[in-house]
């Protein structure tokens, strides 16, 4: 389960290495996200020129 303030390692080629979940979408008071759910993240660490 993923909730707000969770730090995640990125597994794609976007150049981001670590992100932090800032919002779980899909409901007014939804607390957790799981596989396939949409979340809003903030990039905390990225590959230079990635």
Q: What is the pLDDT of residues 17-37, one digit of tens each?
A: 999 999 999 988 899 999 999
Cβ contacts of 27-34, under 8 Å, gap ≥ 24: 31/3, 32/1, 32/2, 32/3, 33/1, 33/2, 33/3, 34/1, 34/2
DSSP code at position 38 = -
Whether the pLDDT of residue 5 is over 80: the answer is yes
Handedness of CA 31, 36, 40, 42 (dihedral sign): positive
Q: What is the pTM of this model?
A: 0.85
């Amino acid at each position: 389960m993923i909730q707000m303030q969770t730090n995640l390692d990125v597994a794609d080629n976007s150049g981001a290495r670590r992100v932090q979940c800032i919002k779980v979408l899909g409901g007014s008071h939804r607390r957790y996200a799981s596989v396939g759910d949409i979340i809003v993240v903030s990039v905390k660490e990225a590959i230079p020129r990635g």
